[in-house]
């Protein structure tokens, strides 16, 4: 860790523990005694940290500074990538919430987020102006359906709904009325999904919340599916639409596309290797090919499906249809 990070760690240790021995600092900071001593002296002389050595307890501690002493303040510490993404995403989410029962309670939280964004050497306004988080492809949900589903989920009640599927057939042909036992709500790729036990199919299913209509909470208690089974069924294959029966897809990406795909995580159990010409071969498990097809097609001519033949055939047919539209 760099020097500024060490300052913050020293401060945190002294705040969390009344007295901290030198051995604890050396273990946590992973520095030599000489480096630690220089850090302490710098914090005292330059940052005005009220750190003293307590002989009786054989450790360093914070003491109460004199009234006229300079203010102790740590230097600005910049966020890492995940931290700044989380802060900006939370701020955008709060700004997008419609006025409701939480409006008054959200004010202090928004202010705290602004303070956190401005806790480095840069103002919150400068951070927001220079760094952007751009949500894409978010679908609009019917008003009230999400709240009803969340209520049923947390109160462990069954949910009755009309679900509008997305088949290529005539409109509403895939609409069904279902009673489900909600298991969890998942935010994935800017959209909300409901994992639930479908009592019509007698199996676990994932429902896109933007396709839920006329949701009603039933008095009947929802059944609970163990977390391990949820992960085994819904997390075994590629994408949000998963299942227990898994097939492995084998994809070959061109050397150009490999520069991007090789650094992407498509699935926790993926297998990959480079070929001699720089092509990148990726193998991933899937049980429902809907989302996988879309992700393959977006790479166009830079990807070839090597296996299985059924997936290869579907991609070939989709590309042929695309060419036909441009003839």
CATH code, domain carrying 158: 2.30.30
Q: Is the pLDDT of residue 98 over 70?
A: no
Q: What pLDDT score was predicted for residue 180?
A: 97
Q: What pLDDT score was predicted for residue 79?
A: 66
Choice between 97 and 290, residue whose per-residue pLDDT is larger: 290
Q: Write down which residue in 186, 205, 234 finishes a domain.
A: 234
Whether 210 and 256 map to the same domain: the answer is no
Q: Write down which residue in 207, 234, 261 finishes a domain.
A: 234
Choice between 195 and 73, residue whose per-residue pLDDT is larger: 195
Q: What pLDDT score was predicted for residue 51?
A: 93
Is 74 among the domain residues? no
Q: Is the pLDDT of residue 207 over 70?
A: yes
Whether 251 and 230 map to the same domain: the answer is no
Q: What pLDDT score was predicted for residue 122?
A: 64
Choice between 47 and 84, residue whose per-residue pLDDT is larger: 47
- Contact between 109 and 94 under an 8 Å Cβ cutoff? The reply is yes
Q: Mean of the pLDDT values across residues 245-252? A: 94
The CA distance from 309 to 262, in Å, is 24
Whether 39 and 100 map to the same domain: the answer is no
Least confident range from 36-50, 68-82, 203-217: namely: 68-82
The CA distance from 77 to 176, in Å, is 53
Q: Mean of the pLDDT values across residues 240-254? A: 88
Is 69 among the domain residues? no
Whether 110 and 55 map to the same domain: the answer is no
Is 242 among the domain residues? no
Q: Mean of the pLDDT values across residues 268-297? A: 94
Following CA atoms 134, 138, 143, 145 in sequence, which dihedral angle do they give, to the nearest 10 degrees? -120
Q: Mean of the pLDDT values across residues 31-38? A: 93
Choice between 138 and 256, residue whose per-residue pLDDT is larger: 256
Domain that holds residue 124: 81-130
Is 137 among the domain residues? no
Question: Full-prediction pTM beyond 0.85?
Answer: no
Least confident range from 27-31, 170-174, 291-295: namely: 170-174
Q: What pLDDT score was predicted for residue 26?
A: 93
Is 190 among the domain residues? yes
Q: What pLDDT score was predicted for residue 78?
A: 60
What tokens were used for 156?
Answer: 């462990």
Arithmetic mean of pLDDT over the chain: 86
Q: What pLDDT score was predicted for residue 222?
A: 97
Whether 254 and 223 map to the same domain: the answer is no
Whether 55 and 87 map to the same domain: the answer is no
Is 140 among the domain residues? no
User: 17: closest CA among 47, 59, 50?
Assistant: 59
Q: Write down which residue in 208, 234, 260 finishes a domain.
A: 234
Q: What pLDDT score was predicted for residue 136?
A: 75
CATH number of the CATH domain containing 25: 1.10.10.10
Is 175 among the domain residues? yes
Whether 217 and 270 map to the same domain: the answer is no
Whether 251 and 194 map to the same domain: the answer is no
Whether 99 and 174 map to the same domain: the answer is no
In degrees and rounded to multiples of 5, residue 142 shows phi and psi of -60, 140
Domains held by the chain: number: 4
CATH number of the CATH domain containing 321: 3.30.70
Is 166 among the domain residues? yes
Q: What pLDDT score was predicted for residue 99?
A: 61
Whether 215 and 172 map to the same domain: the answer is yes
Whether 114 and 181 map to the same domain: the answer is no
- Contact between 126 and 189 under an 8 Å Cβ cutoff? The reply is no
Whether 39 and 87 map to the same domain: the answer is no
The region, left, alpha or beta by phi > 0 then psi within -120 to 50, assigned to residue 144 is left
Confidence of residue 170 (pLDDT cuts 50, 70, 90): very low
């Amino acid at each position: 860790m760099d020097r500024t990070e060490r300052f913050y760690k020293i401060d945190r240790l002294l705040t969390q523990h009344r007295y901290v021995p030198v051995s604890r600092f050396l273990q946590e900071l992973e520095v030599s005694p000489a480096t630690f001593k220089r850090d302490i002296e710098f914090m005292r002389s330059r940052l005005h940290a009220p750190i003293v050595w307590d002989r009786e307890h054989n450790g360093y501690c914070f003491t109460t500074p004199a009234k006229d002493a300079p203010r102790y303040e740590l230097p600005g510490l910049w966020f890492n990538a995940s931290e700044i993404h989380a802060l900006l995403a939370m701020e955008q989410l709060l700004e997008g919430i419609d006025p409701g029962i939480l409006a008054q309670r959200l004010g202090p939280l928004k202010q705290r987020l602004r303070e956190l964004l401005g806790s480095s050497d840069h103002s919150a306004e400068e951070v927001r102006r220079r760094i952007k988080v751009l949500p894409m492809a978010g679908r609009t949900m019917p008003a009230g359906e999400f709240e009803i589903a969340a209520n049923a989920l947390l109160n462990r009640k069954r949910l009755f709904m009309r679900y509008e599927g997305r088949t290529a057939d005539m409109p509403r042909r895939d609409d069904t009325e279902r009673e489900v036992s909600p298991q969890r709500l998942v935010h994935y790729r800017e959209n909300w999904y409901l994992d639930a036990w479908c009592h019509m199919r007698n199996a676990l299913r994932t429902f896109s919340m933007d396709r839920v209509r006329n949701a009603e909470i039933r008095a009947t208690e929802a059944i609970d599916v163990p977390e391990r089974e949820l992960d085994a069924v819904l997390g075994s294959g590629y994408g949000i639409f998963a299942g227990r029966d898994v097939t492995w897809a084998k994809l070959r990406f061109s050397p150009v596309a490999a520069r991007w795909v090789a650094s992407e995580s498509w699935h926790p159990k993926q297998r990959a290797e480079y070929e001699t010409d720089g092509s990148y071969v990726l193998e991933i498990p899937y049980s429902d090919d809907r989302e996988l097809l879309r992700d393959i097609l977006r790479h166009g001519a830079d990807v070839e499906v090597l296996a299985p033949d059924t997936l290869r055939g579907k991609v070939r047919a989709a590309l042929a249809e695309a060419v036909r539209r441009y003839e």
